[in-house]
A and B are shown apart, each in its own frame.
Chain A
Amino acid sequence: MISFIKAAVGGLAGVCRAQGHQGPLTLHSHLKVLSAGLKTYEIPPNYTDVVLPEKPKLKFMNKVPNLKKAKKEMKKLRDIQGPAKAANTFTSGQYAIVAMGGGYLHWGHIEMIRLTINRKMDSRTTFARWRINSPYKPITRKGLGQRMGGGKGAIDHYVTPVRYGRLIIEVGGKVELGEVEHILIEVAKKLPFPAKVMSRESLAAMQKEQADMEQNNQNPWTFKEIAHGNMLGIRKVLSPFDLHNHGRFTGKFHLPRRV
């Protein structure tokens, strides 16, 4: 940049020299390159290969699944325990809200996410995609003022179970993280489980850090070995859930910094 300006000044001086003998001396004495005020701007990212979908906004989700016969189900807490097996990697977007624990999303939460993001994001440059299904798990309640007994209550509402590490929504398009981060953070704070805004890079970095921790653990005793070997009969106090997750989860909660 500075060299360019110098070249320009040199060219100007050359022109002056051609016109008159006195010119360049006076010009040189008055022209000073102020390098302190010059700023080199970063080259903006290239979005030429980004294709926006036809409908960039989040779709409306049904409050109740369209079933012929609604059946009451058991609690089935397994569906919020442990790490997510599905939708734990990026597909089309660049940034996402990632669940850092298990929990249930109601239709209300889903509406909140949809309205906030559709209202605040710029739909000409950004698109958003759901990574969760519409509420499908029935939750039963007994009616108000009803006596106990008399069997299981009626279906009250439906929820979407979410496990640790699941992506809730994906955002992408011709945007940088700084432009959408505040919207996503605002949404992530209101979810019923700890959630984080992550980009493709930061999610990969988190997974790499976990792999590194497993690789470089200096502790000779690992949960996996002890639990699988049933050392000192420890299996008596461990659940099958612990055998799979090696003590990284208690129920729906994720315990950080464990291998």
Chain B
Amino acid sequence: MAATLCIKLLPKQGWLPLTQTVRHGSKAVTRHKKPMHILKQKLMAVTKYIPPPRGAPADAYPPQSKRVQEGNPLILVMRRDLKKVFQDYKMIAVVQNSASNAEDMMVLKHRLHKHGITVKFFPNQVMLSFLMDSVYRNMAPLFIGPTVLFVSKEPKAKEMLTTLRASPQMTLLGACIDNTLLSAEGVASYSKLPSVTVVQGEVVSGLTMLTSRTAALLQRHPAHLSALLQQYVKQQSSGDRADEAT
């Protein structure tokens, strides 16, 4: 194999190549950049510097631990208002406001106003700085994004929920009713409870019923009463015997 290749590749005897290349030594180039070999060009392209991916700009996200400037008089006034709100009102509901326009908000305010519920706006920073120092500290996670406060003097959860059903862009996040922190489901179950007066009436009626029945028994004929008592004694003894047997 090798022999045949050699024979084929060897030039003919007595034949000179038509063009003879003259070999020069490599030139010392200092004036300009030497043209690069194509392989080296490829290598340079492959081994280019790739910077690390750029992180988010410094002001893209709010700083993690940023305290509101305490000295700002406007913030002090707002904090005072907040304190008053938490003192005066029994129901404080936190609602997320997802892009409701002014008209929707006005209609909602009007509907809530019928039930004596008012809508209040506070900046989240002020709210958080107030909550962190107060006993309502556990409400702080609710205040993320655009939030609105629904406050009322009486705990009117049912009315609030019916009104909120009509406006889909408002989402109830949680509420503080009678100094109790409730989730959205908690508020819904709270609204299903009967009112306090009804419950009190039931308790009173249940208590009075016992005495009234005793009185009715005593007013019956004595023979009837004695028969009932005998029956009761018999039942008691049979019950005791059954207990001993077992």
Contacts and interface: CB of A to CB of B under 8 A. Distances in A.
Nearest to A236: B39
B49 A258 contact: yes
Interface stretch (A25-33, A127-135, A167-175, A249-257): A249-257
Interface in A218-241: 218-219, 221-223, 226-227, 234, 236-238
Interface residue SS majority, chain B: loop
B36 interface: yes
A218 B50 contact: yes
Given A80-B30, A219-B48, 8 more contacts: A77-B28, A219-B47, A223-B44, A226-B47, A234-B39, A236-B39, A242-B40, A251-B34
- Interface bin, chain A: 20 to 34
Contacts of A236: 39
Interface string B15-54: 0000000000000111001101101100110111111110
A51 B34 CA distance: 47
Contact of B47 (A216, A218, A221, A252): A221
A213 B49 contact: yes
Contacts of B30: 77, 80, 251-252
A218 B51 CA distance: 6
Contacts of A218: 50-53
Contacts of B28: 75, 77
A238 B47 contact: no
A259 interface: yes
Given A216-B51, A217-B50, A223 B43 contact: yes
A227 B47 CA distance: 11
Interface of B: 28-30, 33-34, 36-37, 39-40, 43-44, 46-53
A38 B30 CA distance: 58
A227 B40 CA distance: 10
Nearest to B36: A250
Nearest to B35: A250
A258 B48 CA distance: 7
Contact of B37 (A77, A223, A237, A252): A237
Nearest to A104: B30
Contact of B52 (A216, A227, A242, A253): A216
A109 to B, nearest CB: 16
A142 to B, nearest CB: 17
A194 interface: no
A24 interface: no
The 3 closest A-B pairs by CB, nearest first: A237-B37, A218-B50, A219-B50
Interface string A55-98: 00000000000000000000101001000000000000000000
A247 B37 CA distance: 13
Contacts of A247: 43-44, 47
A238 B40 contact: yes
Contacts of A242: 40
B49 to A, nearest CB: 5
Contacts of A250: 33-34, 36
B45 to A, nearest CB: 10
Nearest to A232: B39
Contacts of B47: 219, 221-223, 226, 247
20 contacts: A75-B28, A213-B51, A218-B53, A219-B47, A221-B46, A222-B47, A223-B43, A223-B44, A226-B43, A226-B46, A226-B47, A234-B39, A237-B40, A242-B40, A247-B44, A250-B33, A251-B33, A251-B34, A253-B33, A258-B44
A250 B32 CA distance: 10
A75 B49 CA distance: 34
A257 B46 CA distance: 14
A59 B130 CA distance: 71
A234 B49 contact: no
Contacts of B37: 237
A259 B51 CA distance: 11
A69 B48 CA distance: 49
Interface string A190-226: 0000000000000000000000010011110111001
B39 A257 contact: no
A222 B33 CA distance: 22
A248 to B, nearest CB: 10
A257 B29 contact: no
Contacts of B46: 221, 226
A234 B43 contact: yes
Contacts of B43: 223, 226-227, 234, 238, 247
A238 B53 CA distance: 31
Contacts of A234: 39-40, 43
